[in-house]
Amino acid sequence: MPGDLAVGIHDLSIATTRYVLTHETLAARNGTDIAKYHEGIGQRSMSVPAVDEDIVTMAAAAAAPIIDRHGAEGIRTLFFATESSVDQSKAAGVHVQALLGLPSAVRVVELKQACYAGTAALQSAVGLIHRDPAQRVLVIAADVSKYELDSPGEATQGAAAVAMLVSADPALVRLENPSGVFTADVMDFWRPNYRTTALVEGRDSISAYLRAVEGAWTDYTEQGGRKVNDFDAFCYHQPFTKMARKAHRHLLAFCGYDADDSEISRALRHTTAYNTLVGNSYTVSMYLGLASLLDNAGELSDKAIAFFSYGSGSVAEFFGGTVVPGYRAHLRSGAHRDAISRRVPIDYARYREIHEYEFPDDGGDYPVPIENDGPYRLTGLFGHKRVYETRPARSRNG
Ligand code: COA
């Protein structure tokens, strides 16, 4: 295995939904003081999928610009990370392979461990490239975060997808060894197979997350990782953006530093800009934070970025990466901002209607109306089969 081979993220593209619900709309409906949402949890709005959108359409929309730019040559693996699976058996990535017209000589698999699975996919991709540096791996994460109406979790919903091309000699971020890993069997957040909405013990999930910060960081240092001061920015998993602030304060305190608010803001500011508008995107969320950082921060060449990935249940990983000089020429900042800003605001009644919509399970034919204006759509459920299509005028976010 080549020891000094640089492997990491060569390209990164995000997609989100057609609709958006603002926290002002939610607060007006449930009587919550808007400051609780804006300041207390750090959220302004959340992406809501149209009835013809799901993890597959968002994933394909995120990945298509990558295939447009780089072609499919050398991609022999597609990892699809999600906890919003549309099928118990078939990997959602197989639909994406078809929608993108990828060759048949590709292995496709779906990975799950709550919000952590995107990182499992990324690290597995790094391993495959060390085995054969000529290969590239398409890593996609896509999720729809859905909690019960009128529950505390309702304000921390959202949806997005991220696609990353992982390769040797990457253009954006070189991923580093070691990783610090941590697993603890806790029931802080889960979704039994018979439920469409997640269950969460809100305050417990915050404590479990913070224990995982300590555990993963401890392992990272024991494995010979960097010092906490070596990092210029910190990308945390963000079920809500305030969680990143809690986590960073906790990490610094654990390392013996008493950080003030301005130092926390400096380390996190650019990593939360997209998440505060998109909401919780589960396994996408840390990578949405990375996109937000690269797109919105000043020059980051050669700077070290820390990543903390957490999936309830729970599995966590802390690792570092270095931004590659010249990375700015490869960003998709305009397309990313556009994907977020062109969402159509919906009122509470429409949001509730979408939230409550479920396909009947009788095997009938259930087409859905055309709502999303993205390049791919779910046409409906026909004889228990989800059917997808590419829109005639495919408008990718290039
Ligand atoms: N102005 C400003 N801040 C306010 C406020 C107001 N009027 N009212 C409340 N707040 C603050 C609270 O002090 C609290 O901040 P703190 O945690 O720093 O103390 C924050 O807003 C949330 O208030 P809380 O009473 O805890 O809200 P809640 O009972 O509605 O629950 C969550 C909030 C985040 C716990 C809940 O939305 C949830 O469980 N979401 C899911 C989280 C998740 O996905 N976890 C699993 C993955 S990690």
pLDDT per position as a tens digit, 187-221: 999 999 999 999 999 999 999 999 999 999 999 99
What is the reported pTM? Answer: 0.97
Catalytic residue among 83, 154, 176, 317: 83
Q: Which residues are CB-contacts of 232 (< 8 A; sequence separation ≥ 6)?
A: 267, 300, 303, 304, 305
d(CA 60, CA 56): 6
Q: Is residue 207 within 6 Å of ligand 1 at its C-beta?
A: no
Spatial neighbors of 331 by CB under 8 A, at least 6 apart, are: 172, 294, 295
What does the pLDDT look like over 334-367, one tens digit per residue? 999 999 999 999 999 999 999 999 999 999 999 9
Note whether 286 and 9 are within 8 A (CB): no
CB of 150 closer than 8 Å to CB of 292 = no
How far, in Å, is the centroid of ligand 1 from the Cα of 140?
29
| Ligand 1 pocket, residue 41 CB under 6 Å | yes
- Based on the residue annotation, tell me whether 235 is a catalytic residue of this protein: no
Q: How far is the CA of 348 from the centre of ligand 1 (A)?
A: 21
Q: Is the per-residue pLDDT at 4 higher than 90? A: no
Checking if the pLDDT of 396 tops 80, the result is no
Check if CATH label 3.40.50.720 holds for domain 7-390. no
Ligand 1 pocket residue status of 33, Cβ below 6 Å: yes
30 lines ligand 1 (CB under 6 A): no
> In Å, how far are 37, 67, 213, 305 from 333, measured between CA atoms?
26, 17, 30, 18
For the stretch 240-277, pLDDT in tens is 999 999 999 999 999 999 889 999 999 998 999 999 99
Whether ligand 1 lies within 6 angstroms of the CB of 116 is answered as no
Is there a catalytic annotation at residue 237?
Answer: yes
Domains of the chain by residue range: 7-390
Q: How far is the CA of 42 from the centre of ligand 1 (A)?
A: 9
* Ligand 1 center to 152 CA (angstroms): 8
